[in-house]
Chains A and B, each alone.
Chain A
């Protein structure tokens, strides 16, 4: 006889049940201070298991992190809101385009817009993100041309990657956006390497790694944290905890650990856990961590606590594994709605302007989409030269690839 038995984590609810987030503790906005920029990991426990929040239930910016941000001009908030609305319009239009067969694949970031949009606005030219496939927000907030973004999604002649990559796997070096790989976790340790190169060059730039909650289980999450701890490069390591890895509940990746942020403390890396649906909290903590990195205090890990409101991808149906309307029950709400309400409370925004901004952005996105689609879609293809397959495998075309290209007829 033995009492030993295995534990299998389960989500709080399944499709035949009501959403249940009663197990999630949401601290009040403003309850955590701003730590000193040279804080050590061992003093970070309250920040790693708490939740940094700025916007309260009355849509006011409160507490030490609001003070840290200082007076935010209305234009800054409007810019943030526009970034998020633009992202939402792109998601809407491209999700639709995939349903119409115009592109093979798409991934939305609904509910997670604040994180990438806010973080990017705190970076400088020359800093480099190592994103996952759910950070198109970084491109949108970097004002990446929509023609290039959509060209990639349609794999047409406007595609900067010449059709080689699955839709959503962007690469935009000049916009601080590293080439996305389908292999999860790999970019996390590469970000640390890039940051080490920044330090070696003394160029004042930083790197930002991005990973989802599910992919923290990959070995390169460990590789990245350990390397960042050993060499102390200027890197911000972001974990976007959206509660789901395709169909797998976040508890399967987390086990009995307190939070993802808490994991970093074991590596000696200061870590903060943040309300990812609070645009002001995103701005504040991003600024703090980025300034900390740039000032030479080493790596920081940020766990952005959020919820993946949409399906994992266009190939996924979440109604098969999680409660219906779970997103509506998410206790941290919707990032766009919360920023909008705050701006209205400040007197810098109103419903009419919001409706107008939404419509204008959707019009703009649709207009670009039409132009980009004229250059080819999956239903109306304008093929890229097949010879492109062989270009860039190596810097120079080796003999065996030249022969294969000839065999193909080019």
Chain B
């Protein structure tokens, strides 16, 4: 075991995968010689060679399209989109090709592909370095969608994603690449080394896809969240003084409904928290699932705290990013019978 940041954990996952399986291949913009704009692939090209890890032209459609062709032959491409905000040129290849290849070919071809992308806000990234487009992927049958929140999970989930036989959208909350973020943007940043979940095994291990993690056990209200908002919710729970159960979904598709339902049946209350815009966001799906499965256990309306239905702003970052205060208010409100 060693202490790792999320960046180091992701790099370690790719190191392990490259070492374990000769079919694993990594490419994207600036990932090769330079090691990635977030350093996630630093040193790996020197270790494994250019044929395993290389730079690409700035063309997201080509990055994923090439990967689909490789994956169909049995290779295991793990490609990077530099920011989730720039995945849209590849949306056709992801949703119409990668997601459907196994189904439409009746299993003749499959697509064991991972598309990594830094996601989320809280870094003054403005409109095109802050988006959280997960709902645009959870709506697509055939994809799996993963968002880790700790270095330990990031490594285990990424290895599991690379080994998974289906295409996985792997979204990395860049706000917590270097340390957890509790929503306090005025204070000093917190390093991962102070956090228990930065203890990461050096070798191979997996965290299973499709399984949520309970980050805080509680009896009063269930919070369904993921990524950076896990930590902001932890801060909010302290502020509100409620005994909340925080569920870090980790995988959005397929969803761990069992863990969610067990928790809401216990607490009778539910708050959904995500950075992404509200309307038709993944929160709507979570609310619908909870309402369908737990209706008779609910003691108050399901609430959601999300980004506003506006493009991600620059100067007004902290009016946009869901704050611990907003989450605390929702928790308090959910506790009113």
Contacts and interface: CB of A to CB of B under 8 A. Distances in A.
Interface of A: 128, 130, 160-162, 164-165, 169, 171-173, 178-179, 181-183, 186, 189-198, 200-201, 207, 219-220, 222-224, 226-227, 230, 392-395, 398-400
15 contacts: A128-B73, A160-B108, A162-B106, A164-B103, A171-B106, A179-B101, A179-B104, A189-B93, A190-B65, A190-B66, A194-B69, A197-B75, A230-B57, A392-B106, A393-B142
B62 A226 contact: yes
Contacts of B89: 219
B108 A179 contact: yes
A227 B56 CA distance: 8
Interface in B3-26: 25
Contacts of B108: 160, 171-173, 179
A161 B105 contact: yes
A171 B97 contact: no
A228 to B, nearest CB: 10
Nearest to A185: B92
Contacts of A192: 65-66, 69
Given A164-B104, A193-B67, A200 B51 contact: yes
B110 A173 contact: no
Contact of B65 (A172, A173, A179, A186): A186
B47 to A, nearest CB: 17
A89 B254 CA distance: 47
Q: Looking at B66, B75, B254, B255, which has the most chain A CB atoms within 10 Å of its CB?
A: B66
Interface in B57-111: 57, 59, 61-62, 65-70, 72-75, 89, 92-93, 96-97, 100-110
B62 A190 contact: no
B313 interface: no
Contacts of A219: 61, 89
A207 B68 CA distance: 14
Given A178-B72, A183-B92, A392-B106, 9 more contacts: A161-B106, A197-B69, A220-B65, A222-B59, A226-B62, A393-B102, A395-B110, A398-B210, A399-B254
A282 to B, nearest CB: 25
Contacts of A195: 69
B62 A223 contact: yes
B68 A169 contact: no
Contacts of A165: 104
A165 B108 CA distance: 13
B288 interface: no
A226 B56 CA distance: 10
A395 B105 CA distance: 13
B68 A190 contact: yes
A173 to B, nearest CB: 4
A130 B72 CA distance: 11
A154 B43 CA distance: 54
Nearest to B52: A200
Contacts of B93: 186, 189, 220
A223 B107 CA distance: 27
Contact of A160 (B25, B106, B144, B166): B106
B322 to A, nearest CB: 27
B29 to A, nearest CB: 13
A407 to B, nearest CB: 12
B59 A173 contact: no
B204 to A, nearest CB: 21
A172 B108 CA distance: 7
A264 B282 CA distance: 43
